Chain A
């Protein structure tokens, strides 16, 4: 089993839609969790950290479920500029990246 697993997608959604991604992790001792965004042919950039209580940043909401070992990212009111690959990252002694979920937002 991979340490971090994500549905590769792509998720094709129209502008204005709400879309959610899940990510599962295998190591129950993992301590920190993050979502990164990566545009085509660019480097990954931190989108947001994921806290146990859940957290929101504008149109983006991240949640953590330690019991089931998964984290989620919800994007509301999708914009064309949200089209990218979203990487789930788990921190246990080192950062482990998922292979990413690709999102395509169309007009």
Chain B
């Protein structure tokens, strides 16, 4: 099994640009999570999907952030326009059940730097 796949692994962009992060969950997992990690705030849940439907997006910081899951094997997290404070590592994770931490698998993350 390839595990959770994220792309790009690194992204450097300028303030105001649109950024799109991509995630492919583990096949057969029906929950997908997007997290953001910073030194100050640690790992924060942004949004999660169940069977491609967004369930809880209360962690999405503001309207500049949006996430979609058009099918069971693909999700995107978009930031438009990006700001320097969005610089962080963004992780995608998937589980075969309802968010159980003992079955949650993280992708390698996307390290985003907004200049």
Stretch at the interface among A60-68, A73-81, A88-96: A88-96
Q: Mark B76-104, 1 if CB is under 8 A from A, else 0.
A: 00000000000000010000000111101
B101, A32: Cβ atoms closer than 8 Å: yes
B107, A95: Cβ atoms closer than 8 Å: no
B102, A34: Cβ atoms closer than 8 Å: yes
B108 within 8 A of A: yes
Stretch at the interface among B11-19, B20-28, B37-45, B65-73: B37-45
Supposing A95-B45, A100-B42 touch, asked if A43 and B106 sit within 8 A by C-beta, the answer is yes
| CB closest residue in chain A, given B33 | A95
Q: Which chain B positions have C-beta within 8 A of A89? A: 101
B43, A91: Cβ atoms closer than 8 Å: no
B41, A99: Cβ atoms closer than 8 Å: yes
B104, A46: Cβ atoms closer than 8 Å: yes
A11 within 8 A of B: no
Best-surrounded residue of B42, B56, B100, B104 (most CB of chain A within 10 A): B42
Interface residues of A in 26-62 (CB under 8 A from B): 32, 34, 36, 42-46, 49
| CB closest residue in chain A, given B91 | A43
Could you tell me which B residues sit within 8 Å of A by CB distance?
Answer: 39-45, 48, 56, 91, 99-102, 104, 106-109
24 contacts between A and B (CB under 8 A): A34-B101, A34-B102, A36-B101, A42-B108, A43-B91, A43-B106, A43-B107, A43-B109, A44-B43, A44-B91, A44-B106, A45-B106, A46-B104, A49-B102, A91-B100, A94-B56, A95-B45, A95-B104, A97-B42, A97-B43, A97-B44, A99-B41, A99-B42, A100-B42
Could you tell me which A residues sit within 8 Å of B by CB distance?
Answer: 32, 34, 36, 42-46, 49, 87, 89, 91, 94-100
